[in-house]
Amino acid sequence: MLDCEVTEIIEKLEFDKIRLDLPTYNATQISSQIGGAGNKVWVTFYRGVFDITDFVKRHPGGERIMNAAGSSVSPFWQFYQLHYRIDVLETLAKFRIGNLETPLDETPNMNYFDKEPPRNPTVITRTSTPFCGETPPALLPQNFYTPNDLFYVRNHLPVPTVDTSAYRLTIQGVGIPLSNFSLSLDDVKQKFAKIRMPVTLQCGGNRRSQMGEVKPTPGIGWTGGAIGNAVWGGASLRDVLTSAGFNWTNYTETFRQNKLHIQFEGLDCDPFGDCYGASVPLHFLLDATYTPLLVYEMNNASIPPDHGFPLRALFPGLIGARSVKWVSKILISEEESPSPWQRIDYKIFAPSVNEDNVNFNSASAIYDAPVNSYICSHKNGEVVERGMIRMKGYAFAGRGRGIVRVELSFDNGDNWQVVKLTRQDSNYSWTQWEIEVNVTSAMDVWVKAVDTGYNQQPEDLKHIWNYRGLVVNAYHKIKLNI
Amino acid sequence: MLDCEVTEIIEKLEFDKIRLDLPTYNATQISSQIGGAGNKVWVTFYRGVFDITDFVKRHPGGERIMNAAGSSVSPFWQFYQLHYRIDVLETLAKFRIGNLETPLDETPNMNYFDKEPPRNPTVITRTSTPFCGETPPALLPQNFYTPNDLFYVRNHLPVPTVDTSAYRLTIQGVGIPLSNFSLSLDDVKQKFAKIRMPVTLQCGGNRRSQMGEVKPTPGIGWTGGAIGNAVWGGASLRDVLTSAGFNWTNYTETFRQNKLHIQFEGLDCDPFGDCYGASVPLHFLLDATYTPLLVYEMNNASIPPDHGFPLRALFPGLIGARSVKWVSKILISEEESPSPWQRIDYKIFAPSVNEDNVNFNSASAIYDAPVNSYICSHKNGEVVERGMIRMKGYAFAGRGRGIVRVELSFDNGDNWQVVKLTRQDSNYSWTQWEIEVNVTSAMDVWVKAVDTGYNQQPEDLKHIWNYRGLVVNAYHKIKLNI
C-alpha cells in the first residue's frame, strides 16, 4: 500500500484525473511512439501520459527506465519504491502531455521483500524496501569492531536466499583460460589461505542528510552512521584469480594503462532480470600491499544475510558500493560493470550540476573516498549540563590513507585542539578519538581530520554540494546547548 | 659579508656587547658544560654565551646543532646562512646567560658556494646560498613541460661538481647480498631499459608565502612557482635493486608491515661531513603500477647540475624533497634516513604547534601531498582592463591521484564554474586549465580542484596553518582590480 502522503500527492498532482486541457490516448497510441515518426518515449502513471524522451539520459537508474517505455511505470515503481517520493512525482508531472483512455490497475499487489532476514530494531530503518539501516551514531564509539547486528546495511534489492550446496562462484573473461571456471563455497573456504583483516566500510552517501542544510539531494538520508568497522575473513581475491588461471605478469602493462576492470554481479536481482553489480579497475590489484578479499566471515562469525552471505567482495578503502554482496559472478573485462550503480549512480558532480543539466557520462565512478570525521557522542542542538563532558567520534580516509591527526575547534576555527586517538589499527580501519571538554556555556564544536596525504576536510558543505549527495566530508559542526 | 639588516639586529640585540647584568665565562668553562654537573649545552655568538640545552630538541636542523656545542655557532652559520634571520637571532637572544671573555673572529671568511652552475636570471632567487629559485608563476602555463632552465630549484647545500668517470652508485643494506655492490653511470644507462615518464615535482613548501597572511612561518617564501613538470628519463629503481640482488618476494610481508625504508644520500655535503639525505618506505615499490626512477635525463637532455647531475632519484607523486639529487648511496634499512630533512624538517603539525612547543618526533615525514591548484596568469591585486581576459593555472595532487575537476568562483564560493582542462597526461603529471572571464568590475577569484579520491582543497589557510609552512593547499584567492 502507498502511504497517505504519497496518495495525497498523487491526487494533488492530478495523476488520477483526466485533465481536460490535454488530449487522450489509448494504449496502442502510447506504445507505438517508440520507433514511430518522432521516436518518442511515452509512459503512463494512473490517468497521466508523459513524454520522458528528454529525461531518459538523466534518469539516475539509467536505461532501465526503457523497460517501462510505452506502458505504465507502476510495475517497476512497485519494486523500486524510491520513486514514490515528492521530488520524483513532481519531476514526472512536468512531462505530462495527455490522458490515458482506459486506466490500468495501479494497486501495488506484489511483495518482493517477503524473505528479508530478521534485524536488530536498534538499527534505524532509512528505507525498508530495499532495506537500508543506519547504526545510531552514538553507538559507534562503543566498539572498535562494530557488532554484526548493529552494522549499517545498504541494500539495493531484496536479500537473496542462497542454497549454499548449489552455490557457485563463476570466474570468466579476459585472461581466464577456461570458459566455465567456477568454485563452490567449500572451494573458496578450503583451497585458499584464510586472511583476516580489519576493514572499515562506509557508504558513499554517509552524512548525506547534512547536505540538505545547503540544498536537498535525493537519496537515503543517512546521518553519520552509514559506516562500520569489522574484522573480515576470507580468501585473497588475487589468489582466487590466480587459481582461475589469470597470469598477472602478462597483464602488467595493460593494467598500467588502466584498461581492465574486474566486474562483480550479486545474486540480488529485480523481477525484471537485472541484478546488482559493480566493478573495480584491475590495476588496483597490482599493488602487492593491497589485498581485496572474498569474505565469508564477519567478526569471526559467518557473514550475515544482510552483509552478503555466503560470499562478499571486499575492497578495503573503497566506497561500500564496490564491495558486492552475494557475489556469484566475476568477469574480467575491458568495460566497467554495466550496472547503473557503476555507470550512473555513485558519481559526483560540481555544485552547479543538478537534475536538469546532469550528464552522467561526464563523470567517473567513485572508488576512493576522501578524509572524513564525525562527532558520534553528541547531536547537533543537544542539551548538556555544565561541567566536563566526554566527546567521542571517528575519522577515516579512503585507499588506506591513515589518519595522522584529529582536531576540534570550539571557536569556529580560530583555534584547533588535537584530540586523543583512542584506537587505530591498519590504515584500512577507522580511527576512534575522544576528548574531555569543560562546558561552561552553549558552544559550537567543529571536528576535522588530516590523512597521511595531508588532505584536510573542506570547511563548508556549500562548496562540495553535489547533486547525488555523495562523499559528504565537510567539517562536522554541532552546537551544544545548556 | 653579513648584510646591513643582520648587522643592525646583532647590534640591537647586543650580541656584540658585554652585558653588565650577566657573568663572564672563558672558553674552557663553556666547553666543559657538556658532560659536566648540569650536562648543559652552551654556545657562543660574538660576546654572548647562550644555554640552549632546552632548545636542542626543537632545533629544526636537529642534532647537528651539537656540532657547535661548547663553542661558537658562527662556523656553522657561515655555511647554513639561513640562521642570519631576525626570528632566529631573536630566539637565540632569549637563551643568553653570560658574556664570552675573549671574543672569537666572527667574520664570515669562507665561500662554500663558489662552484655553483650558471642560472637563468628569469628564475626568481629566493635564497642564494644554498640556491633556491622559483619559476615566475605567470610563465608556468606557457609550457606543459617546464623548460629545464626555468624549472624551480630547491637546493639544500652547494651543488657538487661530479667527475662522472669516478662516479659510483653504491647499493647496500637489508636484502642486498654483496656488501660492495656499485654501479657506474654507464652501468645505469646501459644495463637497464630507459623509461621516460612525465612527472610533476612540487616542493613541500610551494605557496608558503601565502601562509604568512595568517601568521609568518620560517622557510623559503615561495609563491606558486615551486612546481614544474618534465619528462624524466632513467632506469627503474625496482630494476636496479633487483640487479643488486634484492629478492622482492622474500620481503613482501616485511614491506606490508612498513618495516623497510630505502635511504638515499646525495653528493651535496656541508664542510662538517653531513650530506643531504632522504628515504621512502620500500613498500611503495610493491605496487607494480608505481615506477620510481633513477634519472639521468630531464626533458630529453642530460639532467642539469641544479637538478641532480649525473643521477637523481625520482619518486612520482611525492614531495620534491624525497627525490634526492646527486644520489651516490642507496641503503635499504629498517630505519628512515637519519638526515634532518627526513626526521625533522618536512613535517607538518597542527595549527596550535609552534617553535616553543614543537616535538619533531611526534609527526611523521611527509611523502604524499594533497590536492592543490593555482592561478598563474594573474596576481593578487593585479589591475586588468574591462572585457574578456583569459585566466590560466595548474592543479596537482600527490601519489598519482589525478585531477577530476577544477572550479572557479567569482562570488566568494556561492557559485562554482567548472573550467576547461587544457592538458592532462598521466596522473603523476599536473593538469593545466584555462577559462575566459568577462571582467566588468573589480572581482574576487577563487580556484579549487578535486582529485580522484574526491579530496577537495580546504577553503581557509587559517585552518591548515602549520609551523613549518608546508603543503599550503587552501583555495588560491586573488582580487582583480580595474
Contact B286 A283 (CB under 8 A): no
Rg from Cα positions in chain B? 24
Nearest by Cα to A374 from A406, A341, A340: A406
CB contact under 8 A, A286 and B283: no
Strands in B96-251 per DSSP E: 96-100, 124-127, 132-134, 153-154, 169-173, 182-183, 195-202, 227-236
Positions of chain A with pLDDT lower than 70, given as ranges: 1, 108-110, 252-258
**Which residues sit opposite A235 in a β-bridge?**
A294
Helix (H, G, I), strand (E, B) or coil at B396: strand
Sheet holding A24-25: strands in order across?
Answer: A24-25, A96-100, A48-51, A42-45
- The per-residue pLDDT for B258 is 57
Whole-angstrom distance, CA of residue A222 vs CA of residue A211: 10
In whole angstroms, what is the distance from residue B165 CA to residue B202 CA? 31
Residue partners of B210: CB distance under 8 A and separation at least 6: B223, B461, B472, B474, B476
Active-site positions of B? 59, 83, 154, 203, 346
From chain B, pick out residues whose CB is under 8 angstroms from the CB of A399.
Answer: 453
Maximum Cα interatomic distance, chain B, rounded to a whole number of Å = 75
Q: Which residue has the cell 656499485?
A: B182
Query: In sequence order, which residues have a C-beta less than 8 Å from that of residue B144 and are 6 or more positions away?
Result: B229, B423, B425, B432
Residue of chain B minimizing CA distance to A475:
B458
Please give chain B's pLDDT, 482 residues, in tens. 577 888 899 999 999 999 999 999 999 999 999 888 889 999 999 999 999 999 998 898 888 899 899 999 998 988 888 898 888 999 999 999 999 999 888 776 668 898 999 999 999 999 999 999 999 999 999 999 999 999 999 999 999 999 999 999 999 999 999 999 999 999 999 999 999 999 999 999 999 999 999 998 888 999 999 999 999 999 999 999 999 999 888 776 655 555 899 999 999 999 888 999 999 999 899 888 899 999 999 999 999 999 999 999 999 999 999 999 999 999 999 999 999 999 998 999 999 998 889 898 889 999 999 999 999 999 999 999 999 999 999 999 999 999 999 999 999 999 999 999 999 888 999 999 999 999 999 999 999 999 999 999 999 999 999 999 999 999 999 999 99
- B302 vs B311: CA distance, rounded Å: 10
Calculated CA dihedral for residues A32, A34, A36, A39, nearest 10 degrees:
150
Q: What is the pLDDT of residue A257?
A: 58
CB nearest to A369's CB, from B288, B368, B454: B454
Residue of B nearest to A446 (CA): B463
Determine the 3-state secondary structure of B329 from DSSP.
strand
What does the pLDDT read at residue A250?
A: 77
Could you read off the pLDDT of A421-464 as tens digits, one per residue?
999 888 999 999 999 999 999 999 999 999 999 999 999 999 99
Handedness of CA A275, A276, A282, A287 (dihedral sign): negative
Query: Do residues B455 and B193 touch, judged by C-beta distance below 8 A?
Result: no
Model-level pTM? 0.93
> Torsion angle of alpha carbons A126, A131, A132, A134, nearest 10°?
80
Q: Tell me the three cell numbers of residue B70.
A: 661548547
Interface test with B, best of A455, A466, A477 (most B CBs within 10 A): A455
Minimal Cα distance from A451: which residue of B? Answer: B370
Query: Residue A142's CB: how many other CB atoms inside 10 A?
Result: 12
Is residue A105 classed as helix, strand or coil in its secondary structure?
coil
The reply to whether residue B418 touches residue A460, judged by beta carbons under 8 angstroms, is: no
Sign of CA dihedral A115, A118, A122, A123: negative
Q: How far is B442 from chain A (nearest CA, A)?
A: 22
Q: Which of B455, B472, B475 to mutate to test the interface with A (most CBs of A within 10 A)?
A: B455
Q: What is the pLDDT of residue A104?
A: 82
Look at the alpha carbons of A348, A354, A355, A360 in this order and tell me if their dihedral is positive or negative: negative
Q: How far out from the chain centre does Cα B187 lie?
A: 30
A455 and B453: CB-CB below 8 Å?
A: yes
Q: What is the Cα–Cα distance from A30 to B99, expressed in whole angstroms?
A: 101
> So what's the pLDDT on residue A256?
54
Picking from B289, B435, B465 by the largest number of A CB atoms within 10 A of its own CB, the best residue to mutate is: B289
At residue B63, the pLDDT reads 84
Pair A150, A135: CB distance under 8 Å: yes
Q: Which amino acid is at A260?
A: L
> Looking at this predicted complex, what is its ipTM?
0.91
Residue showing cell 547503473: A340
**In the prediction, which pLDDT does A57 show?**
87
Measured CA to CA, the distance from residue B44 to residue B31 in angstroms comes to 10
Amino acid identity for residue A128 in this structure: S
Other CB atoms within a 10 A radius of the CB of residue A57 amount to 14
Give the span between the Cα atoms of A394 and A460, in whole angstroms: 19
Q: What is the DSSP letter of B289?
A: T
Query: Measured between alpha carbons, how far is A384 from A370 in angstroms, rounded to an integer?
Result: 31
SS (H, E, C) A358-391: CCHHHCCECCECCCEEEECCCCCCCECCCEEEEE
Contacts of B371 in chain A (CB under 8 A): 455
Q: Which pLDDT belongs to residue A109?
A: 61
pLDDT at B1: 55
- In terms of phi and psi (left: phi > 0; alpha: psi -120 to 50; beta: otherwise), the region of B173 is left
Q: How far is B356 from chain A (nearest CA, A)?
A: 16
Residue contact A456–B448, C-beta within 8 A? no
> Is A258 in contact with A276 (CB distance < 8 Å)?
no
Amino acid B13: pLDDT: 94
* Nearest residue to B64 via CA among B271, B281, B220: B271
- Phi-psi category of B39—alpha, beta or left, where left has phi over 0 and alpha has psi -120 to 50? left
- Cis omega (within 30 of 0) on the bond before A310? yes
Beta bridge partners of A132: A127, A154
Question: How many Å from the N-terminal Cα to the C-terminal Cα in chain A?
Answer: 44
Letter for the amino acid at B326?
W
Closest C-alpha among A184, A190, A153, A156 to residue A168: A184
3-state secondary structure of B251: helix
| Contacts of residue B36, Cβ cutoff 8 Å, sequence gap at least 6 | none
Check: CB of residue B201 under 8 Å from CB of residue B176: no
